[in-house]
Amino acid sequence: MRRRQFLAGLSATALTLPTLVCGATVIPAQMPSDAAAATRLWPSLETLYDQLARWQRDRAPWVRLETVGTSARNRPLQALTLTDPATDAEQKEQVLVTAVHAGVERTGATTIMHLVDWLLSGTPAADEILKRQVITCLPVVNPDGYEAGTVANSQGYDPYTAWTLAGPHDPEKNAEAVAVQQLFDRLQPEVHADVHGLDLSFPGYIMVESTGSAWSNVALRPYHQRIIRLMNDAALADGFATVVPEDDAERLYWGPALDAAADKLWYGRARPYAALYAYHHYHTLTLASEVCWERSGLVRHQRLLEIGNEVWPGEYYAGYPTRVIAGTGFHRVVAYGTSAAARRRSRVELWNRLGHIRIGFANPQAEGMLVCVVTTSAAAARRLGDGRLKDLPDSLSGLPCVDVEAVRRVLVAHPDGPGLWGPHAHLYMEGGDAATTATTPPTQAPTPAPIQHGLAIRLRVPYPEAQPTDLRLNGHPLSPSDTEGYQQWSSAGFTHLQVNIRPSLAQSQDCFLITCAYDPRAQRSRSWP
């Protein structure tokens, strides 16, 4: 439970039960006492680990148990990996579920135990998830803190917060965080769901629950806020209230330029907690949820895992929406591949090359025509010259991969002249090194290696029934193809045209100009009256 000073009030009383507690059970409120301490409410570490071992014994090969680290007091960190061994591993997305970064937040651990129990229940919904996903569960990140009832580990470090974007602070004293980092690096997960909660120090101890959003850290949220709404809707349908912290408080986010109004802004600050390492290195979708009642945590995370089997609005393939790497209002650079594993490799590579990737579009945008360019090196970005659209064919004339005359024939139809956009139609470029222009001298920095795993460029036409009439890459016409042409689909009010650039092409070229003439198949009036 990460809320300002609330952690200071969490009890350090050690309580346990021989079996897991059920969050749906109604228990009268009772403060801790000597008599109550004799019957402990929270399951011991031994109880949790015995159950993990039983699942491994009874459900192999669906379940694999491993020790991923050891605490300073020689307690193991045990992770359980669940998946259907009969389905293709290349087609599976990776999810990491963790709990108890603060040792006292024990309902996080018990919620994960209920989640594992459901995943192994044999219900159709659970089986479908395990056919298409690999779920790794680490129910106790901080075993020393879990047993002692402390936020920090036995060396005084909180494995949840003691991080930089490069990794844990003081790794020799922060072994639990190092184990989490190693899981991030190995799995490169699409999703990291971190479950927080209460210490179970006395019966009837409750709080208000929240989903996805860390109270103390405005950066720790899923970049798709709709996921929070879907998870909260699932909880509400089961009778559980949840909040979105800053929404509930009706506060805007703080920033340095707004410090004079700090008392009117949300108190959370952007901080490099554990989950931000996964986002920074792997573009992982991150969530931190507060759980009071395990049943509520279960139904919310069931809904999260269901999303991984669905087609997200705007996407072509089923799976978590983690594929967009860079973009403008119209266009996107996205991960390449026809399998989950291929898209993961592409996503991670492109995400870590953002400093070299620039994407631009024709400004102004003209109905019936899209122009998009992506460069993957500073040299290619400089080659575009001043970006004037009519000069673009000449700027690209030295590239053997470009049909310059075809590009010229297409661009001659684009409107030119002065307007809101400036004196001429031009390429509006974003991303990468914004200072890279035709007049910028080359830097002494080493040239990045060619992209190895391909990339895709997704055009979005704001007409759901639009049809391309002339779609070209570097002047060459494209045909439909999942691997080296284009895919077309309609979703969320757009017609999506995704140009797939196979790895061998991405390795040999660094400038990709897409032109698309299209029929909007719609007439929309503007102006007044």
Angle of helix 294-307 relative to helix 124-132, nearest 10 degrees? Answer: 50
Tokens of 492: 């969320």
372 DSSP β-pair partners:
361, 514
Give the model's pLDDT for residue 195.
98
pLDDT at 448: 84
Alpha helices in 259-403 (DSSP H): 274-282, 294-307, 340-351, 378-383, 392-395
| Residue 137 near residue 119, CB atoms below 8 Å | no
Q: What confidence score (pLDDT) does residue 28 get?
A: 44
- 5 to each of 101, 210, 267, 463, how far by Cα in Å? 17, 17, 12, 50
Relative to beta strand 455-461, strand 494-501 is antiparallel
> Residues 6 or more apart from 133 whose CB is under 8 A from it?
83, 92, 93, 94, 95, 305, 308, 309
Q: Are 81 and 119 in contact (CB under 8 A)?
A: no
pTM of the model: 0.92
**248 residue type, one letter:** D
Cβ pair 420, 364 in contact under 8 A: yes
Q: What is the dihedral of CA 141, 145, 151, 153, to 10 degrees?
A: -80
Report the chain (529 residues): mean pLDDT per 10 consecutive residues: 38 34 41 52 95 98 98 98 99 96 91 99 98 99 96 96 97 98 99 97 94 96 98 99 95 96 96 98 98 98 99 99 95 98 99 97 95 96 93 93 96 91 93 63 72 98 98 98 98 98 98 98 93
Give 491: exposed, middle or buried? Use CB within 10 Å, 0-12, 13-18, 19+.
middle
Enumerate domains of the chain plus CATH numbers. 4-307 (3.40.630.10), 324-519 (no CATH)
* pLDDT for res 10: 29
8 Å CB contact between 301 and 193: yes
Q: What are phi and psi of 507, to 5 degrees?
A: -75, -25
Tell me the pLDDT tens digit for each residue of 21-54: 443 334 344 455 554 444 578 999 999 999 999 9
Instruction: List helix spans (H) across 238-293.
Output: 245-249, 274-282
**Rounded Cα gap, residues 165 and 175, in angstroms:** 17
Whole-number Å distance between alpha carbons of 403 and 413: 17
Please name the residue that has the structure tokens 């470090």: 157
- Phi first, then psi, for residue 45 (nearest 5°) are -60, -40
pLDDT of residue 371: 97
